Amino acid sequence: MAEKLSIINCQLSIIQTMAIGKKSALGRGLDALITMDDLTTGGSSSISEIELSKIAPNPDQPRTVFEEEALEELATSIRSLGVIQPITLKEIGPEKYMIISGERRYRASLKAGLERIPAYIKTAEDENVVEMALIENIQREDLNSIEIALAYQKLIDNYGLTQERLSERVGKKRATIANYLRLLKLPAEIQMGLKDKKIDMGHARALIPVDDPEVQLALYEQILADGLSVRTVEELVRTVHENTAPTDKKENKTASRQKLPEEYNMLKEHLSRFFKTKVQLTYNDKGKGKIAIPFASEEELERLIGLLDNLK
């Protein structure tokens, strides 16, 4: 038996090696099929063929987005080769099972028209199986940043974990976990942009130090409009902080009490749209103030100068 398993593993390694360097008709499906990163838990387990109709997804599954194209590729692979790597299930009732890991393979098997799927069955009582399923899924690199952040937050809320304890459980640095959790403080529109891969985590992290959600959203729109790099966004954020930092405590205290009239707000919004950057406008009770147009690079400055030249 051991010799047969060794031969099978050798054959799979050869198939995987041949797939590297060129895109086969199976696309990325083969890699997904032969992944060996299923969750290992304590207690006994067995492998069986389970009817798909008896399987239910894990309600605590961190991943909320399953790309249809990738699922179709995996379904094509399954039709051709079958499900090579079993999924892992938890028995939750008489002939009822919950997915611990392998939901993509489960969904693709449904698309492929399979009635049964090979699965490891978790038979030992394990109160932490849901927690372990969350942790296993967090380790997957194809989760987006918001899904990971929500999974971390769910573990903290459901199991009363501190960030320090959570870092031990998932094998991540505490600072890494804190960075993910901070993403949940961003406006919903930015979180959706991160989830939809309109921006990456570097952009989102650069926006976190900005206190004003309106400024965050304005910078986010500028990232989308101009394709700004993370470095440029970081410089813009520094510029915003410099322009809003108090230079004279008395003047700043007066200005903070002085609310901008509606026409000033309209002017500021109009200038921000025109220059495609967050224009800062401040004034004091004597009517004195300033307009600041931030830029983060020489290229950005040239763009602003070009707009001003056109006004002539």
* C-alpha–C-alpha distance, residues 216 and 222, integer Å: 10
Computed from CA positions of residues 210, 214, 218, 221, in that sequence, does the dihedral angle turn out positive or negative? positive
Cα–Cα distances (Å) from 289 to 56, 122, 138, 281, 302, in that order, read 62, 68, 50, 7, 25
Tell me what pLDDT residue 279 has.
82
10-residue mean pLDDT profile of the chain (312 residues): values are: 45 41 37 38 65 87 75 89 86 86 89 92 60 65 80 83 85 89 93 90 92 90 90 87 56 49 80 82 73 77 79 66
Least Cα distance to 52 among 9, 118, 115 occurs for 115
Tell me what pLDDT residue 243 has.
66
Give every strand in the sheet of 116-122, ordered side by side: 45-51, 116-122, 87-93, 96-101, 55-56
Computed from CA positions of residues 120, 121, 124, 126, in that sequence, does the dihedral angle turn out positive or negative? positive
* C-alpha–C-alpha distance, residues 48 and 116, integer Å: 10
| Catalytic-labelled residue, pool 67, 72, 91, 103 | 103
Tell me what pLDDT residue 15 has.
40
Give the SS3 label for residue 136. helix
Tell me what pLDDT residue 249 has.
44
CB-based contact 212:206 (threshold 8 Å): no
- 1: number of CA atoms within 13 Å, CB side? 0
Tell me what pLDDT residue 300 has.
77
Contacts of 293 (CB under 8 A, 6+ apart): 271, 275, 277, 279, 304
Give the SS3 label for residue 91. strand
Tell me what pLDDT residue 112 has.
92
Tell me what pLDDT residue 142 has.
63
* pTM score of the predicted model: 0.52
* C-alpha–C-alpha distance, residues 106 and 51, integer Å: 11
Q: Is 103 a catalytic residue?
A: yes
Written as six digits, the tokens of 307 are 């707009």
Tell me what pLDDT residue 306 has.
79
Identify each DSSP E strand in the chain by its residue range. 45-51, 55-56, 87-93, 96-101, 116-122, 280-283, 289-292
Contacts of 44 (CB under 8 A, 6+ apart): 123, 124
